[in-house]
Amino acid sequence: MGPSGSGKTTLLDILADRISSGTIEGSISLNGEKRNAKTFRAVSSYVAQEDSLMGSFTVSETLEMAARLSLPSIITRATIVRRVQTVIDEMGLRVCEHTLVGDIFRKGLSGGQKRRLSIAIELLSEPSILLLDEPTSGLDSASTHNVMEFVSKLCRENKTVICTIHQPSSLVYDMFTNIVIMTAGKTVYFGPRELIIDQFSGAGYTCPMYMNPAEYFLSLVNSDFAGHANINNLVQRYASSTTAATILQNIEADTAGVHTAAPVVPMKPSALRQFFVLMERNLINNVRNPGIYWVRLAMYLMLSFMVGTMYLSTNSDISEQDMVPLLFYVQAFLVFMSVAVLPFFIEQRAVFMRERANSGLNVFSYVVANFIAILPGIFLIAAVSTFLVVLLSVSTASGTSC
């Protein structure tokens, strides 16, 4: 926990191996050994703060596509369907199972439902380590409680869950086992939830009765406003406290007690399977999304008709040189009107980045599938617009009445 800008997301990105710039000091261990990036990603999933979803698919379709792209090829279709139905129930998405995610053209899921869907996608692979960045963002109090109750259930199943959260309610706060409070990149407290009140009380900050401890502690470490505590004093007191010493001893004991574990072999679907799934998804998305083909096709038809009619009621002795501007306009339409797809390209790029990071999406399969899937629509747009322009202009040039 911590105020905005305290470094919560940065810390989570470092733990998730998502930092590509800057200098990182220290080391990260997994089961007492230096973390291997491929091994870590095979046993973990990361839910980012921003939802990366494709608006043309329903909840069940989104989950099924995600499962087929991330689960090993040995997983049967029946198992995939069963996992999808399980996470739909666990995340409370049954009521919107057949609802489109939604985009700028169509209303779809609410912000809270999209958040739960993002979490559900990463639960399909049943990770041993789950990293959540603001999992309750956009959720109402009831949905927040239900989602965090499920997260607590994962912890009881011996899974490790690390999440950032802004200001949890008292009920949600009591679900956490250990608490980290940060401000300006510094650790104010890290340890069991039950000991945090005593730690702050020892520094002269006693939580008032009937007040949410999370709200009180966050108000103390938020240096953006007046009334905050002496943060440097809190940081120094924690660093020299018995709680910090006990935490370090526990970490050293856990590390010493870890025996050499069997190597984790990353398992993911073959590049060929990912290619066919991506082909299917791209074709469906291209047909369903009005902004990819249909809006562009309408614009091309209108502009082609306007340019083609410029040659109506003209002399029949149009030269080849007169056709040069016409051909230029046809080519210019195809190039410049492609900017209409830019918003959806950004959407697909965000989805690709998430799938690449979490499920090891094959880049070659993605590029080839996307290229092939877009060819029919591009051919249709080029053929229709060119045919209309040529029909109007050539018929006039040959003396045919229109």
Using DSSP's 3-state secondary structure scheme, residue 192 falls into strand
Write the CB contacts of 56 (distance below 8 Å, at least 6 apart in sequence).
100, 101, 103, 284, 285, 288, 289
Rounded Cα distance between 191 and 169, Å, is: 19
Query: Would you place residue 100 in the very low, low, confident or very high pLDDT band (cuts 50, 70, 90)?
Result: very high
**Which pLDDT score is estimated for 149?**
87
Which fold would CATH assign to domain 8-256? Rossmann fold (3.40.50)
Predicted TM-score (pTM) of this structure: 0.81
The ranges assigned to domains in the chain are 8-256, 271-397
Rounded Cα distance between 85 and 94, Å, is: 9
Structure-block tokens of residue 130: 């789950």
Q: Show the DSSP H helices in 169-241 as ranges.
A: 170-173, 196-202, 213-221, 231-239
Rounded Cα distance between 230 and 205, Å, is: 10
Query: Would you place residue 357 in the very low, low, confident or very high pLDDT band (cuts 50, 70, 90)?
Result: confident
Q: Check residue 160 and report its DSSP letter.
A: E
Which has more confidence, 290 or 70? Answer: 70
**8 Å CB contact between 189 and 180:** yes
Of the candidates 338, 335, 337, 361, the one whose C-alpha atom is nearest the C-alpha of residue 349 is 361
Name 191's bridge partners: 179
For tokens 């104010």, name the residue. Answer: 188
Query: Would you place residue 168 in the very low, low, confident or very high pLDDT band (cuts 50, 70, 90)?
Result: confident
Q: Check residue 179 and report its DSSP letter.
A: E
Q: How confident is the model over 208-249, as pLDDT tens digits?
A: 888 889 888 888 888 877 778 888 889 899 988 888 899 888
Strands 33-34 and 178-183: unpaired
Across the range 278-302, mean pLDDT stands at 85
Name 178's bridge partners: 192
Query: Would you place residue 83 in the very low, low, confident or very high pLDDT band (cuts 50, 70, 90)?
Result: very high
Structure-block tokens of residue 376: 């029919």
Helix, strand, coil shares of the chain as percentages rounded to 5?
A: 55, 10, 35
- State how far the alpha carbon of 341 is from the alpha carbons of 291, 335, 336, 352, in Å: 6, 11, 11, 16
Q: Share the mean pLDDT of the chain.
A: 83
Using DSSP's 3-state secondary structure scheme, residue 129 falls into strand
Across the range 54-72, mean pLDDT stands at 91
Structure-block tokens of residue 317: 């002795």
For tokens 């939802």, name the residue. Answer: 51
